[in-house]
Structure 1
Amino acid sequence: MILFLTIVILILITIIIFQVKRKREQNVTLQYIHTKLQAIINEQTNEKILVATSNQELQTLLTTINALLEDTHKIVAKHRKTESSMKKMLANISHDLKTPLTVVLGYTEMLQLQHSVSDAERNRLLSGIHVKTEEVLKLIHTFFDLAKIEAGDTDYPITKVNVNEICRKNILSFYDMVMSVGLQIDIHIPETPIYALGNEEALDRVLNNLIANAIAYGAEGRVLGLTVRMDTSDVYIDVWDCGKGIDEYHIDSVFERMYTLEDSRNKSFQGSGLGLTITKRLVEIMNGTIQLTSIPYEKTVFTISLKRMMY
């Protein structure tokens, strides 16, 4: 009997020792997790917490923590990218506002100081002030349009739209401009109506931006193209040109805020750098996608994809 009790006591002591040891190991592991997590948060690193353990509860906890860390890393990276983009956008907007406003200020000072200005000279200066003021207003309106779109403060109800008619209307609106710069037009729009899920106003603005962009940057190719096609699930609109195109290095950047090519600061190519950003946001509002492919001086294509609707 005494032997039996001794064995039982020894077994109990062994179990207690094992539990105490396991508890100590868990405390050490939890302390390590806490310290490591605190370091990751403080130093804002992209590390994860790696611990070798057979404890199922700890494994589940670590999996959840690492998933949260990964989401946090993505949010921080997105925030940093947005912050950098906003700083660049504000710097460029300041530059683009400063230039015409400086001209306006110069013209007004000339009008104030030169009392003997002829009527012809006065009209020339006033005309310059008018043009530069319109430039400033256009930039401000574009900036606030993007701000409203990104804040979700826009009303673009998604309905069934006739893609053929919208494309024809938009390419015709540029007819005089296309003819004035000597471009050929290559249009492929099926006679049979093609319908997509979208918004006519938003699609109008998207096409307007893309066609204007093709004329501004692709005029050297002497061709402007627009193609409407579809498959069983989607409708595709290709706006293309054969101009200088965009190098592969820049393709991923063209939809960023305030992105402009080097010669966009030239007078003939001047733009706010927000047009393609707005274009992408509008396509996304219509639950579509936009892609760019470009082979310089061969073919540059912006492709809009929208969900197809049956007749």
Structure 2
Amino acid sequence: MSPLNPKVISIILAVLVSAITSGFLWFIPGTPGGAIFVAGATSFFATLILTFYVLDYLIFEEINKIYDTIQRLKLKDFNFSKKKVARSENPLKKLNNEIFIYVAKKQREIDELKRMEQFRREFLADVSHELKTPIFAAQGFIHTLIDGAKDDEKVRDKFLQKAAKSLDGLDALVADLLTLSQIEAGEIKMHRERVDLVRITHEVIEQLETKAHNRDIRIKLTTPSDQIWVKADGYRISQALTNLIDNAIKYGRDGGKVFVTFEEDKKDWQIEVRDDGPGIPPEHLNRIFERFYRVEKSRSKEKGGTGLGLAIVKHIVNAHKSKITVMSRVDKGTAFTFKLDKVE
């Protein structure tokens, strides 16, 4: 048995206290032997019980808990009861819980820093790749012209148009990156006011009519009223609707339809943008709002876009204290839905 065992320590202390008590009474003249025995036995058992309780329940048990806590922290098990921390009067128990909470908090901070560092590396890699593509394309066309192709009028015009298209794509990418970074940093505040959702949507549809016509796609707006008033930043909601409807046109099927529907709840208006295109496979649905994430990269590149549209939409909707959801079935189409506060 270990000498640090609380039972052994309690017995040793009880024997010492009992011996001292009995010895003291032994030297007092006239003390009966029976009284000395009773006093010795009483002091032995009282010391044994008290010492064992203090050592085992108040010290050793809490030290073992601290050790267990350290083991849990090594395994990154951060479950703890806040109620126990608040109600505990044992200083060792409080110390144990404080250590646990502090280390758990620091570990979460470390994990978050690691996650952000990984995200930063991936983001820089994505940005570098996205910037490199239009720059190299424009660079190739221009150098070809410099090397002599400029003398051929047809080749010159064709290459200049392609270079301009690449630079336009680069400009759109930089603009979207700037918008996204400003929204995430809180530099762009949502100026929420009373705006007509129907008017905003009509304006967006008018802007995209040519693109829809080129693919023989019909945009159908379903609204229960000619005016729907919501509390929102009109410019940002217009930007979100533009991205959603533009995506529905780009990735929908030729000759298909895009449905924009408004439905009224008690406190909100629900906005849905739906297409009847090829849909999105289930394994991609939880990632489509990530920056630069594309379901089919080659197909997405051909159709243009910066890969940041849905990320911008998500942040705009979140800034309006709402949430955007997506439902999709392969070969059946995709629907994006979010809500805005209703006002009279």
Class of the TM-score when normalised by the shorter of the 2 chains: 0.7 to 0.9
Alignment TM-score, normalising by the size of structure 1: 0.82
- Name 1:201's counterpart in structure 2: 235
Asked which structure has the greater RCO (Cα within 8 Å, sep 6+), the reply is 1
* 1:87 correspondence with 2:125: no
Distance 2:128 2:299 in 1: 14
* 1:19 correspondence with 2:22: no
Match of 2:177 among 135, 143, 148: 143
SS of residue paired to 1:259: coil
Provide closer, same or farther for how the CA distance between residues 306 and 90 of structure 1 changes in structure 2, counting only shifts above 3 A. same
* 1:161 correspondence with 2:206: no
SS of residue paired to 1:25: helix
Q: CA deviation at 1:235?
A: 0.9
- Name 2:321's counterpart in structure 1: 287
Q: CA deviation at 1:76?
A: 5.9
Bigger drift between 8-17 and 224-233 goes to 8-17
Q: CA deviation at 1:241?
A: 0.7
Match of 1:248 among 262, 271, 282: 282
- Name 1:35's counterpart in structure 2: 70
Match of 1:125 among 150, 159, 169: 159
SS of residue paired to 1:219: coil
Distance 1:17 1:68 in 2: 31
Distance 1:145 1:284 in 2: 15
Q: CA deviation at 1:65?
A: 6.8
Alignment identity in percent?
A: 23
One-letter identity of the residue aligned with 1:10: F
Deviations 1:37-68 (A, max 9, x none): 5634xxxx346579xx9x95477777777777
- Name 1:213's counterpart in structure 2: 247
Distance 1:230 1:65 in 2: 51
- Name 2:267's counterpart in structure 1: 233
- Name 2:293's counterpart in structure 1: 259
Alignment TM-score, normalising by the size of structure 2: 0.75
RMSD: 3.3
Deviations 1:183-235 (A, max 9, x none): 12322112253222221111001000000000000134611111111111221
Deviations 1:129-179 (A, max 9, x none): 322222212112211211111111112222232222222222222222222
8 Å Cα contact 1:197-1:307 kept in structure 2: yes
Distance 1:73 1:198 in 2: 39
Provide closer, same or farther for how the CA distance between residues 61 and 200 of structure 1 changes in structure 2, counting only shifts above 3 A. farther
Distance 2:252 2:150 in 1: 46
* 1:190 correspondence with 2:190: no
Distance 1:147 1:219 in 2: 32
- Name 2:341's counterpart in structure 1: 307
Give the gaps of 5 or more residues in structure 2.
1-30
Give the gaps of 5 or more residues in structure 1.
none
Distance 2:171 2:229 in 1: 36
Q: CA deviation at 1:300?
A: 1.5
Provide closer, same or farther for how the CA distance between residues 71 and 248 of structure 1 changes in structure 2, counting only shifts above 3 A. farther
Provide closer, same or farther for how the CA distance between residues 77 and 242 of structure 1 changes in structure 2, counting only shifts above 3 A. farther
Q: CA deviation at 1:111?
A: 3.3
Q: How does 1:63-78 map to 2 (within 5 A)?
A: none
Provide closer, same or farther for how the CA distance between residues 70 and 240 of structure 1 changes in structure 2, counting only shifts above 3 A. farther
Distance 2:205 2:333 in 1: 19
Aligned length: 303
Provide closer, same or farther for how the CA distance between residues 249 and 308 of structure 1 changes in structure 2, counting only shifts above 3 A. same
